[in-house]
């Protein structure tokens, strides 16, 4: 029987399965596309992870009943599909950890992954796995450090030890809200950083956006009780630094395409678009000033241009930092 279940056989879910199975841990990797999963089972590879082998310790399936009734479940599906995915899981989950590996805010409910898990599966124990990481790096066994956030003081440390591997180091945090908001908000700022570079505005402008973006992240997360220390750690500043400076980041690439006025591959999930919209709506409801998030929402939905958004940001009243 598998010791761990990974739901979502995209690049990140498959990379996690590869990393977690390197020491012989038995993994069940589930994906919804039966044909794609059959092909992966035969080839022992994922087209989204070129050159990466899926060992025989990974059971590849499209049958949800195969997830069994024990061991943690890691869900690596897009944030906007998490609610529906949770509804499809019917196995007994009492005392079982469900670890959300997606980053964002649900656009319909304005809730984060931990709240969605708690509401859909009240007998389970919600946790968040987040931080600066790319699927290709994890799959190749490159050194990666992540935050595992879980409020349960018994389950959290146990999960930390179970999921930590030789080249995958996990730091446990009780601040679930801070961890999930850090992972969500940094995607919004990454789009802005990408637009800045794509428009040819330079690295100095990107650094300013990242810095003021971090201020927005602290302002928003602080309103909901997150700890500043969390936002300055791996799940906040660490993830922000990675996604704002690398072409591997889908959110950065999307922003860069906006800056260049180019079309972007519609099949690629860009979590920051929905998050920017959700953050803008929430900020308006609670009276928070989130100018970069509002600008990203406007440019990503075609309501304004990158230059118009920049001019709006630069024309804001001068103030003390």
Q: Tell me if 60 sits within 8 A of 40, measured CB to CB.
A: yes
Q: Tell me if 151 sits within 8 A of 178, measured CB to CB.
A: no
| Sheet strands side by side (includes 125-130) | 58-61, 27-30, 4-7, 73-75, 97-100, 125-130, 144-149, 168-173
Alpha-carbon distance of 53 to 39, in angstroms, equals 13
Q: Tell me if 268 sits within 8 A of 135, measured CB to CB.
A: no
Closest to 195 measured CA to CA, from 282, 292, 122? 292
Question: Which two structure tokens, joined as six digits, stand for 270?
Answer: 């860009």
Distances (CA, A) of 2 to 58, 92, 268: 9, 16, 30
Closest to 101 measured CA to CA, from 85, 118, 81, 79? 79
What amino acid positions are annotated as catalytic residues? Answer: 186
């Amino acid at each position: 029987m598998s010791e761990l279940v990974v739901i979502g056989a995209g690049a990140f879910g498959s990379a996690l399965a590869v990393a977690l199975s390197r020491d012989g841990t038995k993994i069940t990797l589930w994906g919804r596309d039966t044909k794609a999963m059959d092909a992966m089972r035969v080839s022992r590879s994922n087209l989204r992870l070129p050159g990466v082998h899926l060992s025989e310790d990974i059971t590849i399936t499209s049958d949800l009943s195969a997830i069994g009734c024990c061991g943690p479940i890691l869900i690596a599906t897009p944030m906007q599909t998490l609610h529906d995915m949770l509804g499809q899981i019917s196995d007994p989950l009492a005392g079982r950890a469900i670890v959300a590996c997606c980053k964002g805010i649900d656009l319909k409910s304005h809730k984060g992954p931990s709240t969605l898990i708690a509401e859909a599966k009240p007998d389970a124990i919600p946790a968040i796995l987040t931080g600066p990481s790319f699927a290709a790096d994890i799959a190749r066994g490159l050194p990666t450090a992540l935050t595992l956030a879980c409020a349960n003081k018994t389950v959290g440390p146990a999960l930390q030890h179970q999921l930590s591997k030789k080249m995958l180091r996990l730091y446990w945090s009780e601040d679930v809200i801070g961890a999930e908001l850090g992972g969500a908000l940094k995607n919004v700022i990454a789009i802005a950083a990408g637009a800045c570079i794509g428009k040819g505005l330079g690295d100095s402008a990107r650094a300013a956006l990242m810095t003021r973006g971090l201020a927005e992240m602290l302002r928003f997360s602080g309103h909901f009780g997150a700890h500043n220390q969390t936002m300055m750690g791996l799940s906040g500043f660490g993830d922000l630094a990675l996604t704002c400076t690398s072409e591997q980041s889908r959110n950065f690439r999307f922003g860069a395409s906006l800056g260049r006025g180019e079309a972007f591959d519609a099949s690629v999930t860009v979590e920051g678009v929905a998050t920017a919209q959700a953050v803008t709506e929430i900020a308006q409801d609670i009276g928070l000033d989130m100018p970069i998030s509002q600008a990203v929402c406007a440019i990503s939905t075609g309501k304004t241009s990158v230059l118009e958004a920049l001019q709006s940001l630069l024309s804001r009243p001068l103030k003390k930092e």
